[in-house]
Amino acid sequence: MSKRNGWELVRALPLPVVFKVNGAVGAGVEHKSMSEEVFPLYFLHIAKTGGTSLTAALKAFYRADEVISDAGNISVDFLKAHEHRINDATFLHGHAQHDVMSYLMSRVRAITLLRDPKAQAVSNFLHVVRDLGNPLRCAAINLGFTEFITTFWHYAVYQTNALHVSITPGPVRFPEELEQHVGQIFTLLDKMFFVGCLEQMNDVYLLLSLLLRLPACLTIPHLNSAAQQGISGDTLDRLGTEYEALQNNAGIAHLLSIERAVYDKAASLRSRYRHRCVEQAFFAGSTDCVLPFTAYSGANGTIHLAGNWRGPEMTPCGPGWWTERDERSTLLIELAPPAHTLETEIYVTHFVNALVFEADDLILGHTLETAANGTRRIRVDLRPLSCQRGGRTILTLRLAREIGPSVPPYYPALALRNFQLV
């Protein structure tokens, strides 16, 4: 039995068998199994950043006894008390208490999520107002958003402070020492295994799935929203306007700037992960490499339905796929030299006003055609991509909402089938 950094590698975590469907479901299956030693996974949860949803999505890939958390928190004392349980197959998750990341760094694959500062501050304030057990609830109700943020300054830099706490052994002078340690927080983000942003959720789930080599793409089980809590759009707009006005408040504007800088740093890391995981798991692989996603294969290449797609449903004309909750869905495409166009049939639309296809920072041209029998097909021009990265690319489909859906699913969606490259 080997040891790494003091923790036993009880077993090498095998990659589960993964499948690629050629042509359509049931038309042929190939599989591959691999194994490697990996570090435990730790998700540093920052409140109101979509972390509860990511935790639920990740827990689906672990047994109950492999998931470790202290009622949603992680402290150094808790880690030491449970060190005998921590091994390569462990999933740790929770809000980091003092010095947790200093203790765990180089011993785990640490990941976290951040959120646009305005949206996070508004959501966090509303959470305090609703939380009957929060000692600041009465203050939030009585003061209102602007005075609450200017009175309790750590809510202006909530995400930055959460990261700072994870690398400091105890309370510090606030905000002086926090401001002095912004560089250390940037270094922490650089050293973490993965840092995502809620606004990049579609890419986050795809890239994290590839980096963790999961047997299937992570899907969003549920994202709490203010609307689901009965908060009106007018209220959200008003609080957002108050947040923007605070950026001109001499007493707190510098803290908002720090929070924005930390968020921007996190958002900038996406290109690094995209390069790292996609180069290794997709672009650098051979054309017959196996990825854990449903795929259409043909003479002119392969299309992997890689992010934000529901499971297949059977239709009279073969299997079809709905886009999932996010308004963006991802395709991984392996182009053979003759292929210049991606084609697919739309068999249902749900409150979709417009489509946009993006790849390699380009917006690709597309046409919508309706045949005499009523069949509607999308044709996407891939010629700008045909010479890039050996013909492999990540294509993102974005959907623009027509109006607020009045029937499930409560988001714009398309149902597509019969993908092919021509």
Confidence of residue 16 (pLDDT cuts 50, 70, 90): very low
Mean pLDDT of 143-167: 97
Cα→Cα distances 21→128, 309, 330, Å: 47, 15, 17
Maximum mean pLDDT: which of 113-122, 219-228, 283-292, 408-417: 113-122
Token pair listed for 20 = 């690629």
In the chain, where are the structural domains located?
A: 3-18+36-115+154-276, 293-421
CB 329 within 8 A of CB 205: no
Mean pLDDT of all residues belonging to the chain: 83
Give the pLDDT of residue 221: 57
Residue 6, Cβ density class (10 Å: 0-12 exposed, 13-18 middle, ≥19 buried): exposed
> Which of the two residues, 260 and 23, has the higher pLDDT score?
260
Residue of 319, 225, 263 lying closest to 21 (CA atoms): 319
Model pTM score: 0.68
Per-residue pLDDT tens for 350-407?
A: 888 889 999 877 899 999 999 898 899 999 999 888 655 567 788 889 888 777 777 7
Checking if the pLDDT of 31 tops 60, the result is no
Give the pLDDT of residue 241: 97
Maximum mean pLDDT: which of 135-139, 214-218, 319-323, 359-363: 135-139
Confidence of residue 61 (pLDDT cuts 50, 70, 90): very high
Give the pLDDT of residue 282: 62
123 Cβ contact partners less than 8 Å away, ≥ 6 residues apart? 48, 115, 226
Q: In what order do the strands lie in the sheet with 301-307?
A: 294-298, 301-307, 328-335, 392-401, 352-359, 362-364
> Which of the two residues, 374 and 32, has the higher pLDDT score?
374
Residue/partner pairs of 259-262 with CB below 8 Å, 24 or more apart = 259/117, 259/156, 259/157, 259/158, 259/159, 259/160, 260/117, 261/182, 262/114, 262/159, 262/160, 262/163, 262/182, 262/185, 262/186, 262/189
Give the whole-angstrom CA distance, residue 398 versus residue 410: 16
CB 347 within 8 A of CB 320: yes
CB 92 within 8 A of CB 44: no
Range in 79-88, 188-197, 210-219 with the lowest mean pLDDT: 210-219
Spell out the CATH class of 293-421. Answer: mainly beta
Confidence of residue 12 (pLDDT cuts 50, 70, 90): very low
Range in 176-185, 186-195, 275-284 with the lowest mean pLDDT: 275-284
Per-residue pLDDT tens for 254-270?
A: 999 999 999 999 998 87
Checking if the pLDDT of 313 tops 70, the result is yes
Mean pLDDT of 77-89: 95
